Structure 1
């Protein structure tokens, strides 16, 4: 509402705003919305790989694990990749994106109702990585 009001303000040739109309600072209750952010599983890895930042709330064991795990990841803006044991680089995907990929492989015309290991093989052949993909596909 405020942005709408600001866009309707009149400005003269000298760039001065006509302040005869007051700005309505009331926010309608139906305009209130919740903003939620889904942080991907690899957020801490990205922060460490890019800038060396480790969250203060991490315990010593978690810090050591983060530093060890970060050796197999690299950042190419805007994506994080993992070098897997077979030497292939695979793009890290969030849970939501991983489930969409599995859904496409499973339910699309070129997919099929294959076994878990075959579906995981297709995900890996597609160049995607998610540490819990074995549990997600079951």
Structure 2
């Protein structure tokens, strides 16, 4: 009996279907938000809420997971979280097949400490 319950999990199927809906929506609309992934994210959450009546907490969670799928499938340069640590960030470039290990202290030195005062709103 437990075997049948594990095979037919309506909650898991619902979450998977809503995550797929979020991914499809982002794929269709990403060209409208080039350079502003936050707008695409917010718009996708709103779509799940209004069109599919997904509760906001779940819509945000599933959109986040779908966004990860969207970026991973794009073959873009990325931060390799599995290989990174607190002191070393590993960047991966799928196009070249290369990975780069960069000490976090170096990132702070060249990007954070050297940048001076930054605007409070990153969209400025």
* Bigger helix fraction: 2
Q: Give the TM-score normalised by structure 2.
A: 0.25
Max Rg structure = 1
